[in-house]
Amino acid sequence: MKFGPVPLDEAEGALLAHSLRAEGLSLPKGRRLTSSDVSAIAAAGIAEAIVVRLEPGDVEEDEAAQAIADAIPKDHLTFSPATTGRVNVFAACNGLFRADRAVVDRLNRLDPAVTLATLRDHADVKAGDMVATIKIIPLAAPGAAVSAAVEILAQARPFEVQPYAALKVGLVATMLPSLKSTVMDKTAQLLKARLSASRSRLDREIRVPHRTEAVEDAIVSLLPDHDLVVVFGASAMTDFDDVIPAAIRMAGGTVIQAGLPVDPGNLLVFGEIDGKPVVGAPGCARSPKENAFDWVLSRVMAGEWPSVQEMTGWGVGGLLMEIPTRPRPRLGEARPEGLQIETVILAAGQGRRMGPEGRHKLLALFDGEPLVRRTARVAKEAGYATPLLVTGHRAAEIEAAVDGLGCRAVFNPAYEDGMASSLRAGLAAAADADGLLVLLADMPAVTAEDIACLTRAFVAAGGNSIVRAVSNGKRGNPVILPKSVFPAVMRLEGDIGARPVIEKSGLPVLDVEIGLAAHLDTDTPDAVIAAGGVLGA
């Protein structure tokens, strides 16, 4: 491959190395120049072009990226088409991401032109999360390097997603006079939220005094009918012969590991009885913040028990308590009660896909009611008394459509810049909230109960997790964003929603199944009609 400037009479057939723009001319990087392109460049007064000329054996970037992607097994993964030398890889299900560092390193050391980046090994992923990206750095790669990468991938899998299994879970909770029953109730709710990613369910809870014999009896009673038993002690483990590890041994089991080099989560106990896992949860697992319990639970849900060798190797990266993306410093339990949650309805868009007639999709009638009014009414029925309505295009008509519902209109003067500007405008009006429910105004199937379910999940998680609606496990809308990500939302630009914030936050993401409503929007006239609407003005 040869890179550099060439006279225009030598440029035809070469790949343009940098995008080229002049008056009346816009050619993208990577374009194979035609004779017409060369004539247009000359007409713009440009005498030479910086190009890449392929040599025998070179493979263009998209072809190279696609060849490498095609060599990776597709189990539980989906792949984007190759574009600009990149293929992105996504999880097709909720599960545990597994990466083989040796294989990834071998591939990345073949040639600087070929790169593969993945999430960390054993990351918890949701369906639709990006887990890896293949990127060809220049506009072409040596064919020998591409062939070598394909050969490596034919011999070993670089990464995979192990789907979570739906487990039947039993909970043992010990009691002391100092522990309020409301705390125990909230602990059970949070455990249910943690289990939801795998469609596992908390089947039964037994509350017993904080004594070894009582815990042993409860574990033994739960084991025959459950795949996993979790024990929450009213008092933290202070010795390796304390109540929870002693109860596991008395029940005939083995304590695999007591104590971990992970903070928060040092005091976790991991054992097994008759081939079934028993986890003594640390006290920090009463909070939704990431801790060692999440690490162990994700492995158990994926059918992969962590070994002593692995768990004792968690020290590097095991200091979680001061990570900036955490919702709050670990100074006390999360406050699940009294959370102030605002809802913002995004209704500023221009609806460019509605056709030349200029009909506004949000004024389409559903059962005789304008769609934007329907959305605002549903939000109010779900308990949001004063929804924030972000307007822009045809703002006066949108505001008139919701008259009498008590919405607070927020005009976005930059609405033509795209959705991010509307998100920022809505958030600016709700900056004091603990959480922001983001509703798209063009989703007619979302119900008040759907919104209430999302809200309950957010409250149960203490307001420290992202909550999003899914359909059959595939992410959708609405979403609820916690206060800790508000600064990141305010930095969004362009015609994008909150997805980049969700993917990069490092926070737990709780998926709430609401069915097809999570994906049903009305961006085109046909979509409005298919959803049961009547086109309006």
Q: pLDDT by residue (tens digit) across 473-496? A: 889 999 999 998 998 899 888 888
Q: What is the mean pLDDT of residues 58-71?
A: 95
Q: What is the mean pLDDT of residues 273-294?
A: 92
305-309, 325-329, 388-392, 493-497: which has the minimum mean pLDDT?
325-329
Q: State the Cα–Cα distance between residues 129 and 322, nearest whole angstrom.
A: 25
pLDDT the model gives residue 33? 86
Is the pLDDT assigned to residue 454 strictly greater than 90? yes
3-class secondary structure, 49: strand
Q: Which strand ranges, in their side-by-side order, compose the sheet holding 474-482?
A: 408-411, 388-391, 341-347, 435-440, 474-482, 466-471, 509-513
Q: What is the mean pLDDT of residues 273-302?
A: 93
- State the residue for tokens 């957010």: 458
pLDDT the model gives residue 220? 98
pLDDT the model gives residue 229? 98
pLDDT the model gives residue 356? 61
Is the pLDDT assigned to residue 145 strictly greater than 90? yes
Q: Cα 293 vs. chain centroid, distance in angstroms?
A: 20
pLDDT the model gives residue 147? 97
Report residue 355's pLDDT band, with 50, 70 and 90 as the boundaries: low
Q: What is the mean pLDDT of residues 253-270?
A: 95
3-class secondary structure, 90: strand
pLDDT the model gives residue 357? 61
pLDDT the model gives residue 16? 85
Is the pLDDT assigned to residue 332 strictly greater than 70? no
Is 57 or 23 the better-scoring residue by pLDDT? 57
pLDDT the model gives residue 379? 93
Q: Which two tokens stand for residue 31?
A: 């374009």
pLDDT the model gives residue 326? 35
pLDDT the model gives residue 431? 66
Q: Cα 425 vs. chain centroid, distance in angstroms?
A: 23
Burial of 111 (0-12, 13-18, 19+ CB in 10 A): middle
The single-letter code of the amino acid at 277 is P
Q: What is the mean pLDDT of residues 515-532?
A: 86
pLDDT the model gives residue 358? 62
- State the residue for tokens 């008139």: 400
Report the mean per-residue pLDDT for the chain: 89
Q: What is the mean pLDDT of residues 516-524?
A: 87
- State the residue for tokens 């459509």: 401
Is the pLDDT assigned to residue 42 strictly greater than 80? yes
- State the residue for tokens 């508000």: 486
3-12, 194-203, 224-233, 323-332: which has the minimum mean pLDDT?
323-332
Counting residues of the chain whose pLDDT is more than 90, the rounded percentage is: 55
Is the pLDDT assigned to residue 349 strictly greater than 90? no
The values of phi and psi at residue 381, to 5°, are -65, -25
Is the pLDDT assigned to residue 286 strictly greater than 50? yes
5-14, 157-166, 189-198, 353-362: which has the minimum mean pLDDT?
353-362
The values of phi and psi at residue 396, to 5°, are -60, -40
Is the pLDDT assigned to residue 2 strictly greater than 60? yes
Report residue 437's pLDDT band, with 50, 70 and 90 as the boundaries: very high
Q: State the Cα–Cα distance between residues 436 and 210, nearest whole angstrom.
A: 39
Report residue 337's pLDDT band, with 50, 70 and 90 as the boundaries: very low
Is the pLDDT assigned to residue 24 strictly greater than 60? yes
Report residue 334's pLDDT band, with 50, 70 and 90 as the boundaries: very low
> Is the overall model pTM greater than 0.75, yes or no?
no
Element (H, E) at 509: strand 509-513
Is the pLDDT assigned to residue 335 strictly greater than 80? no
Tell me the H-state helices in 130-228: 143-155, 181-195, 212-222
pLDDT the model gives residue 343? 94
Is 17 or 481 the better-scoring residue by pLDDT? 481
Q: What angle do CA 415, 420, 425 make, to 5 degrees?
A: 65
